[in-house]
Structure 1
Amino acid sequence: MTSYLAGLLAFLTYFSIGLSCYAAFAAIYTRLTPQREAQLIREGNLAAVVAFLGALLGFSLPLASAAAHSVSLIDFVIWALIGIAIQVLAFYIANFTMRDLHRKITDGNIAAGLWGGGIAVVVGILNAACMTY
């Protein structure tokens, strides 16, 4: 029976560190973006929901790749930090390619939310693939 649970400690460790990385990403991302995601989401702003979920999904992909391919917890954390940096860059790419993206999201423009969230997912896919060495 204990052989079935041999990897449980490693799973719990990686999982808890992964959740901490999500919290760090959310805190950093929401501080760096001009719009107030939490407030907009509580107010029912669908554009903000789509954009923020896209960013979370975009970060999930490289985070999962890092967890699957890392050789140690330190390696996992380093690649997670790289994933955070790349997702922040994705926001700036989306913002650069759509003028006044943050204002449009704040105003509830669904197309802007989809654009921002979509760019985040696209960049996350590329980021995850590049982490598979």
Structure 2
Amino acid sequence: MHAVIESLLTGLPYLLLHLTVTLAMLAVGAWLYEKITPIREVDLIKAGNVAAAVSYSGALLGMAIPLAFCMAASVNVLDIVVWGVVALALQLAVVRLVEAILGGLWHRIEADQIGPAILVAAVKLSVAAINAAAVSG
């Protein structure tokens, strides 16, 4: 039992540091996402827009998944930051690409059309899965 406690005490500071850095990166990613999209999804969600909630949830999960894999495969904080920045940049680029391919997407989400929101969330999550495998591989 003593070895378990010793291991916990040794590893806990690293866990907390890695967790804090990764959560901070997710917060920055969420902030950047809000800045690059032409609508304010958080405001729409507060007003009861379900399509915005679906789209924004896809964006958050789409960023969190590769960040989690970065943290799991990392050897130190710098590793998390470098690969996390790459993963976030890829996820944010996908948002712009989807916007270019699906013209009028944001207006449809703003109008609370759930179909386009589900599609865009699925694209974000699909890319996140591939992105996570690539950054941790």
Task: Give the TM-score taking structure 1 as reference length.
Answer: 0.94
CA contact (8 A) 1:14 1:67 kept: yes
Consecutive unaligned residues of structure 1, counting only runs of 5 or more, are none
In the other structure, the counterpart of 1:39 is: 43
Is structure 2 residue 93 aligned with structure 1 residue 86?
no
Consecutive unaligned residues of structure 2, counting only runs of 5 or more, are none
Aligned partners of 1:60, 1:33: CA distance in 2, in Å?
18
Hey, which bits of structure 1, 4+ residues long, moved more than 6 A? none
In the other structure, the counterpart of 1:107 is: 111
Question: What code does the residue aligned with 1:41 have?
Answer: I
Q: How many residues align?
A: 133
Task: Give the TM-score taking structure 2 as reference length.
Answer: 0.92
1:10 counterpart (14, 27, 50): 14
CA contact (8 A) 1:62 1:128 kept: yes
Which stretch of structure 1 is more off in the superposition, 94-103 or 59-68? 94-103
Question: What are the Cα deviations for residues 27-77 of structure 1, in whole angstroms up to 9, with x where unaligned?
Answer: 100000001111101001111100011011111111011001112211101
Asked which structure has the greater CA Rg, the reply is 2
In the other structure, the counterpart of 2:58 is: 54
Aligned partners of 1:4, 1:40: CA distance in 2, in Å?
43
Aligned partners of 1:28, 1:85: CA distance in 2, in Å?
10
Secondary structure at the aligned position of 1:131 is classed as helix
CA contact (8 A) 2:87 2:135 kept: no
What's the Cα RMSD here?
Answer: 1.1
Question: What code does the residue aligned with 1:128 have?
Answer: A
